[in-house]
Homo-oligomer: A and B are copies of this chain.
């Protein structure tokens, strides 16, 4: 029978120290070389305290970055809405392209995806805690465009979102082509053609 520790007695101080140590180590030595041993040492924490609350090294690091992202965005979050869906989307997609090109994001995001791919549990957490809020914000903008008659009324917004973002994501993940502002623009153009009202 597996022991279930009592979360009410959990040390918040240790939890924070562990997440901070994980973040630091990832950016210092890279995700692949971060060990639970090193996190524990850096955090001034017994290894058991990590094993008690996380299933795996992946889960710790994942949590560390998720916590970071959740803090960053907080609750409210919205895409620009000038009324011009094309301009707004190009702005956003160019920003996204730039973000993916940022070496500081590169490592952690790739690490995140590495974990997500083969761990359905972490994938679910990722969707719920990170992707879902972002997607909702994006869909809000698309809905606004729908109301403005710029996007067809019956469009499946989940599918539309994939159409817009997945090409960019895949190109980045597989390094199968350059990520430029022009690419972002071309993608938006094609996307808008696909979803415009008949």
Contact = CB atoms under 8 A, between A and B. Distances in A.
Interface in A170-198: 170-171, 173-177, 183, 186-187, 190-191, 193-195
Contact of A118 (B114, B167, B186, B193): B114
A115 to B, nearest CB: 9
Nearest to A126: B174
A163 interface: yes
Contacts of A175: 120, 123-124, 127
Given A110-B117, A169-B166, A194-B193, A158 B177 contact: yes
Interface residues of A, number: 40
B156 A162 contact: no
Contact of A174 (B110, B116, B158): B116
A108 to B, nearest CB: 11
Please indicate which of the listed interface residues A111, A127, A171, A174 has the most CB atoms of chain B within 10 Å of its own CB. A174
A113 interface: yes
A31 to B, nearest CB: 8
Interface in A115-167: 116-118, 120, 123-124, 126-127, 131, 156, 158-160, 162-163, 165-167
Nearest to A177: B158
Contact of A110 (B118, B124, B163, B177): B118
A190 B167 CA distance: 14
Please indicate which of the listed interface residues A32, A111, A190 has the most CB atoms of chain B within 10 Å of its own CB. A190
A160 B190 contact: yes
Nearest to A175: B123
Contacts of A131: 174, 176
Contact of A166 (B156, B170, B195): B170
